[in-house]
Amino acid sequence: MIPHIQESEKMMKFHGTTILAVRHNGKVAVAGDGQVTLNNSVVKHSAKKVRRIYNDKIIVGFAGATADALHLSEKLENKLERYNGNLIRSAVELARDWRTDKYLRRLEAMMIAVDETQTFLISGNGDVIEPDEGVMAIGSGGVAAHAAAVALLKQAEIIGFDARKIVEEAMKIAASVCVFTNDVVSIEEFR
């Protein structure tokens, strides 16, 4: 085949994002960058990857295939309705279904879900993980955002940062080192 035809037949792939959740002094903030890439191009700068569900009582942030992540968000909301807003029970049930269901296990996404007291990473491997330090991050810039947030959290009392300020600054750092993360950030928080 002619090289340019081969390239056009390849599946276009969206990837890259950064989601960060920080819990500090009884408050939690969840941030997501806005960049959407398609192969080697940035196709959107201001996507909203963090949103509120279940009557605004739960904040979710997702990384991965957008349609898959939105489907999982809807599934989590259905579980929350079934279990009267119990986030841990809903997260465990979603992770179990995600891992065992023939259709769901093909979905390519990860999710962070928080309420006023709990933070969880939910994955298709059946994982429901609560962070030790009050910081959880996923996506291509997740490692940089996590490291920056932990460092800022350790100095938060000295520098006067709350949860929102920590996620703002950590996301700036992630955007400066990850080419799939930008500095157009959306933040949701519980105060």
In angstroms, rounded to a whole number, what is the distance separating the alpha carbons of residues 8 and 5? 5
- Residue 179 neighbours by CB under 8 Å, 6+ apart: 16
In angstroms, rounded to a whole number, what is the distance separating the alpha carbons of residues 184 and 191? 22
Name the DSSP letter for residue 179.
Answer: T
In angstroms, rounded to a whole number, what is the distance separating the alpha carbons of residues 134 and 139? 17
Q: Decide if 17 is catalytic.
A: yes
Instruction: Say how many C-beta atoms besides its own lie within 10 A of residue 52's C-beta.
Output: 13
Q: How many CA atoms lie within 13 A of 41 on its CB side?
A: 4
The catalytically annotated residue of 17, 37, 119, 181 is: 17
Catalytic residues: 17
